Amino acid sequence: MIVGRDNLINLNGEDSFEALVSFWGGKLEKEAALFVEETGEDYEQCLVEQIASIKHPLSKSGIKLVCKRFEGDKQFYELAHMLIQCVFGQSTADLNENQIYILKELCEHTSVWQSDEYFTELLSSLSLPSSREAMLNYLNENV
């Protein structure tokens, strides 16, 4: 059971992602309620931020789960941040299959490009285009 911010921070990437998927499956409602009661913070968001901060590598199936969740809540920008932070290293010289998939998926959601300043800064820090139109052109030219 994960209760308290300290316990969450001590989870490794795999355990954090497993907890997130379990939460999405409705299996950790009691734990999430206790976490919110104790910390005043959103359980799901804290897990997402934890996974992003340690840049836990995501499998193709994990990426698809996160993209599906983002499809259901396009204002949950931290999911987009997590996707970028977990699949992009310091270099974007040669995009891999997962990176291409994520960028294409994120191009489908205009809200993150229009309303989330941190998202565009994150892309810029990786030398990626920071506007949706420029990203679409980049993908067309490089994929």
CA–CA gap between residue 105 and residue 101 (Å, rounded): 6
Cβ burial 84-110 (10 Å sphere, 16+ → b, else e): bbbbbeeebeebeebbebbbebbbebe
62 and 112 assigned to the same domain: yes
Indicate the number of domains in the chain.
2
46 and 69 assigned to the same domain: no
Question: What is the average pLDDT across 43-47?
Answer: 92
- Tell me the pLDDT band of 138, cut-offs 50, 70 and 90: very high
Q: What is the DSSP string of 34-66?
A: HHHHHHSS-HHHHHHHHHHHTT----HHHHHHH
Count the residues in the chain. 143
Which of 44, 49, 52 has its CA nearest to residue 19? 44
Domain residues for the domain of 7 are: 1-56
Q: What is the mean pLDDT of the chain?
A: 88
9 and 63 assigned to the same domain: no
Model confidence over 61-115: pLDDT tens digits? 999 999 999 999 989 999 999 999 999 865 566 888 999 999 999 999 999 999 9
2 and 47 assigned to the same domain: yes
